Amino acid sequence: MPSPRPDVHPPVVTGIGVASGLGHGKDAFRQGLFEGRSVFALLARPGRQRGDGSPPFFGVEMPDPPSILPPRVERTAGLSGRAAVAVLDEAWREAGLDRVAPERIGLIVGGTNLMAREQFLSLRDYAERLDFLPPRHGHVFLDTDICGLCASQFPIRGFAHTIGAASASGAAAIVAAAEAVSSGRVDACIALGALQDVSALDLQGFRALGALGAGPVCRPMDRGHDGFLYGEACAALVVTRPELAGGTIYGRVLGAGFCADGCRGPEPNSDGQVRAAQDALADAGLAAADIDYVNAHATGTPSGDDAELETLRRLNLGHARVNATKSIIGHGLSAAGAVEAAAVLIQMREGLLHPVLHLETPLDEGFGWVRGGMAEHRIRHALKFSFGFGGSNIALVFGAPEGAAA
């Protein structure tokens, strides 16, 4: 449900850390987005292919995270944990969180079942000698392990917990972080969309559902779409009260809508999507006519794209520019909402929009798709959609920093 009235001093985003197939750090992310660089390829990490002659899985994998952790700790941390620490370090430094009392800093990790590939490999390697399973497996399978890893390396002493909403988990973390700051529970809260480290078993499950594309590229909102392609990704956004912002302000978190539509599996539901957007707009004190840019969920699945287009039509958003970040970096699953929110805020700061790749024959020509390369556009109010299996529908409204866009 939306708030009774808009917050006159909405929380702001003051730090961003991001990692994707474009590389580690905001500079690599920014450059790759605006260049529209395609990075899809065969998935190569151990445990990601069936190896039985069946069609291979395509997607996007990132370079290994930088070594930030002490060696003794790094040896016990999986890919998801190491990526989380790297993006948190970047966001923490930019936001200057060392100035904030540790007891006034919170962390919300968006994502569940984050280390499936590691468990898959462990079962393969230790099935015949379970007595030799390393002790770390007693806790690394828990989603809270990433909370503990981050809080052990950074002075986060307010709270640290996870939140799950399938592919909307990263966006759900932003909603919860903004609420924690607005309520005064903490002065700063980090919303972290965690890297969901999938295995061949998970990918085969998506294929069996008919949700996974055949590759080699992903085509959101195009007549040639046939499903999503997985993309490793992770992002951290620091949300604070505006009076505590020390330097950079990327944008304001003006409104959020988070609702259930009663579906269990992968069935997209336009009614739930519209209701989430209407709640977010009411929370922000805005109308759909005030939105000048939409970052679509846009997975590339036929049913998902069709439902989202219906939602855009029902909201009368034909005047807004629209792009799809998954066309460049793939679908980050748990991380997607946070990584794409980072893309929204970076575009807002730069006054540029990244293109939608592989959009040759749009399903609907009546929208302001960003095609053929990056485009200049000064975003005033952005709408970000994130939807997840299990009927989770989230819409976020971001506004430019006060005085930044007339």
Interval 296-306 mean pLDDT:
98
Kindly provide the residue ranges of all beta strands, DSSP E only, lying in 241-388, ordered along the sequence.
251-260, 293-295, 321-323, 352-353, 368-369, 375-376, 381-388
pLDDT tier for residue 404 given thresholds of 50, 70 and 90? low
pLDDT for residue 1 = 47
State the burial class of residue 137 (Cβ atoms within 10 Å of its Cβ: 0-12, 13-18, 19+). middle
pLDDT for residue 51 = 93
For domain 12-399, which architecture applies? 3-Layer(aba) Sandwich (3.40)
Say what the pTM is: 0.97
Alpha helices (H) along 330-392: 336-350
Interval 104-126 mean pLDDT:
95
- Distance of alpha carbon 161 from alpha carbon 169, whole angstroms: 12
Cβ atoms of residues 91 and 236 within 8 Å:
yes
pLDDT at 100 over 80: yes
What is the chain's mean pLDDT, rounded? 96
- Distance of alpha carbon 175 from alpha carbon 121, whole angstroms: 34
pLDDT for residue 5 = 52
pLDDT for residue 184 = 97
pLDDT for residue 406 = 44
Interval 81-85 mean pLDDT:
98
Determine which helix (DSSP H) or strand (DSSP E) holds 255, and give its type and residue range.
strand 251-260
Interval 277-300 mean pLDDT:
98
pLDDT for residue 405 = 45
* More reliable by pLDDT, 169 or 246: 169
Lowest mean pLDDT among 122-126, 129-133, 187-191, 401-405: 401-405
